[in-house]
Chains A and B, each alone.
Chain A
């Protein structure tokens, strides 16, 4: 049974595109047939994060408007078996597509693929409406910051109102050292406030910048903590029970001393 999953957030820049790319690659590496769809029309991005920007001929809007067939617009990732990208249009705006058309498109993709991962634009307008229509499952990405969590709550409400019974949360860019110091909200804090199911936690990792620069999602290497986290999330999506990464860092003598002194 194939499944369409939309990656949302509300607030911009929290890691939707990074998440879409990494989950797409990780799911394909585990043997599934996957299409990642860039629904951020006018702000195409997923192609460069995936390193496929030079191979685009047609895009999502071309398909919807009937300029090409769906298969012609799909870019096959030569590095990973069974992975395809459907790029967004760069020159059109998000009103070029409507929710019914998206639903039809996702339906067509589901006929030949196991997972359709849709990268949603930031915001709650038309682009969001388009991206969520046709999806069976919704994931909300947030960072451990007040503004991002607030927007995640808003998106949760909108998703529930649109018929997604159980949106799932990914907390991205956790900094274990800041959490240990009490300077950053921890996972239980955020889960408690939002009251939704946790799908995964991704640490803040410099390697994400490297991987974006290279166009090679972090899950393609073995030495990225974020990549490891995304591989775990992909396994959970496939229905496996995977324990959450232990992100806690060992305290150094200095940080321990400082913490003890602060307690007085």
Chain B
């Protein structure tokens, strides 16, 4: 199309490169002996010391934010624990 000539388009090769970078990062992480799962577990443990979270609703995903790869964690919070400060030992409430 003639009009396309005038538009600044992202080059196909750059699209390919960006997609590859993201997918390889995922591949490498998830392949290295469940490092991704381990990391999730640790993040969840750390966060649940301070807030009550909805475990089954947790999502980890890779996104592109401002041209940079980002690991995005979506962690639904049910409630904030009372008295949860960095120095306090929080007693785990059962739920």
Contact = CB atoms under 8 A, between A and B. Distances in A.
7 contacts: A146-B19, A149-B20, A153-B28, A154-B27, A184-B13, A262-B5, A262-B7
Interface residues of A, number: 20
Interface string A219-261: 0000000000000000000000000000000000000001001
Consensus secondary structure, chain A interface: helix
Nearest to B32: A157
B5 to A, nearest CB: 4
A184 B20 CA distance: 13
B17 A193 contact: yes
B5 A150 contact: no
B14 interface: yes
Interface of B: 4-9, 11-14, 16-17, 19-21, 23-24, 27-28, 31
Contacts of B17: 185, 189, 193
Contacts of B23: 146, 150
A68 to B, nearest CB: 41
Contact of A262 (B9, B13, B21): B9
Interface in A170-194: 179, 182-186, 189, 193
B11 A183 contact: yes
Interface in A140-175: 145-146, 149-150, 153-154, 157
A145 B20 CA distance: 9
Given A146-B20, A150-B23, A193-B24, A183 B13 contact: yes
A242 B95 CA distance: 67
Contact of A261 (B5, B9, B19): B5
A91 interface: no
